[in-house]
Amino acid sequence: MSFSSIWTQFFPPSNGAPLTEANLPSQSNKVFIVTGGSSGLGYETARILYSKGAKVYILTRSKQHADDAITRIKSIYPDSTGSLHFIFMDLNDLSTVKSAAEQFLASKDRLDVLFNNAGTGATKNAPPTVQGNEYHFGTNCLGAFLLTKLLTPILVKTAKSSPVNSVRVVWPASCLVEMMSPKGGIRTEFLQDSSKVTKEDELYTTSKVGNWFLASEFARRQTEGVVSIAGNPGNYLTNIWRNVPGIVYWLLRPILRDAVHGAETYLFMGLHGDVKVEDGVAGRYVIPDGRWHPGQREDLLLALRGEEGGGSGIARKFYGWCEERVREFL
Active site positions, annotated: 204, 208
- Rounded Cα distance, 265 and 204, in Å: 21
The torsion defined by the Cα of 20, 24, 29 and 34, in degrees rounded to 10, comes to: -10
Q: Is 85 exposed, middle or buried (0-12, 13-18, 19+ CB in 10 A)?
A: middle
- Rounded Cα distance, 122 and 126, in Å: 9
Q: What sections of 163-313 are H helices per DSSP?
A: 176-180, 188-192, 200-221, 239-242, 246-252, 259-271, 277-281, 298-303
- Rounded Cα distance, 136 and 207, in Å: 6
Cα angle 70, 31, 166 (rounded to 5 degrees) comes to 135
Q: Which residues pair with 83 in a beta bridge?
A: 55
- Rounded Cα distance, 140 and 94, in Å: 12
Read off the DSSP letter of residue 290: T
- Rounded Cα distance, 211 and 91, in Å: 14
Give 164's contacts (C-beta < 8 A, 6+ positions apart). 225
Read off the amino acid at residue 18. Answer: P
Q: Residue 59: name the closest of 87, 94, 85 by CA.
A: 87
**In sequence order, what DSSP letters do the residues of 26-46 get, joined into one string?**
P-TT-EEEEETTTSHHHHHHH
Q: Residue 105: name the closest of 33, 189, 209 by CA.
A: 33
Read off the DSSP letter of residue 172: E
